[in-house]
Amino acid sequence: MTTPSGDPHDLLAGYLLDALDPEEEARFVAHLPTCAACDAELASLGETVADLAESYHVVPPPTVEARLLSTLFPEENVDPEPAPVTATAERRPRRWVLPAAAAAAFVLGAGAVIGVGALRGSPTVVAASETSDVTTAVMSAPDAHTMPLDLPSGDASIVVSGEMDKAIVMGHELPMPSAGMEYHVWAQSPDGSMSAAGAFVPDSTGAIAMELHGGVRDVASFLITVDPTGAAHPSGVPIAEARL
């Protein structure tokens, strides 16, 4: 294992991503004024991190702006169009506000918006960490093969290792399916028969990393549908396919 000390240049990415321990951060901050290379790299990669940061937009409720301004400027109302301060009905007229279920349906159809309905009422996180042993093993397998899924919205891939006879599905920013629905992965064999390889609801950020059942040796392709929870057969039209 690596000791906590080491080359301070190696801390730059962690510093940019806010991923340093306090001791490491102090060391990097002390190093920075002495190193023109790190300084230049920091400025350049800072904009990359900002792009990463800003890739997901959600308009905050107007109550946040009202609280912010009344905290900072308690003696006056600087807002040229005062935001309502009462708690309940004020956010309804905004055009981007939809009931959660309608939003999810719209999202899956349109592919141009993201729903944050995902934030509530969804099953708990099925994040990478729960399954990280298998998913990491498959991702790191020497013969790992990543097949991107062309979903209407969000990014997902199936990663297959023939040697391990395993496949995983991983994705992020997937829209939350409507209530009672899940993403289903079906394994299609060369003779056309289908078997269930797994079903999932992404976590509240739209992320998923999950092992698929049944191996890959007899699989010709994986199909993705959005079907009712517990469905034993695909009923919907596949929204994406990955051919092995």
Partner 1 sequence: MASHPAPTAAAEPDPPTASAEDLLERCAQGDRGAFVDLYRRLSPGAYGLALRVLRDEHLAQDALQEAFEQIWSQSGRYDRSRSSARSWILTIVHRRAVDRVRREQVERQGAMAWGAQHREAEHDVVAEVVELHADHRRVRAALSALTPLQRQALELAYHRGLTQTQVAAELDIPLGTVKTRMRDAIRRLRGELEGRR
Strand partners, 157: 148, 170
Strand partners, 26: none
- CB pairs under 8 A, 24+ apart, for 68-72? none
Query: Does 174 help bind partner 1 (rule: CB under 8 A)?
Result: no
CA gap 53, 72 in Å, rounded: 25
CB 186 within 8 A of CB 194: yes
Residue from 173, 211, 218, 241 in contact with partner 1 (CB under 8 A): 173
The single residue among 136, 193, 229, 235 that binds partner 1, judged by CB under 8 A, is: 136
- Of the pair 148, 190, the CB lying nearest partner 1 is at 148
Q: Does 90 bind partner 1 (CB under 8 A)?
A: no
Q: How many residues bind partner 1 (CB under 8 A)?
A: 91
- Of the pair 17, 190, the CB lying nearest partner 1 is at 17
Please tell me whether residue 163 binds partner 1 under the rule CB under 8 A. no
Each residue 45-64 as x (binds partner 1 by CB under 8 A) or -, in order, gives xxxxxxxxxxxxxxxxx-xx
Query: Is the Cβ–Cβ distance between 118 and 132 less than 8 Å?
Result: no
* 137 near partner 1, judged by CB under 8 A: no
Residue of the chain from 85, 90, 106, 218 that contacts partner 1 (CB under 8 A): 106
Residues numbered 179 to 198 that lie near partner 1 (CB under 8 A) are none
Residue whose C-alpha is closest to residue 149's, from 141, 140, 138, 160: 160
Q: Are 169 and 212 in contact (CB under 8 A)?
A: yes
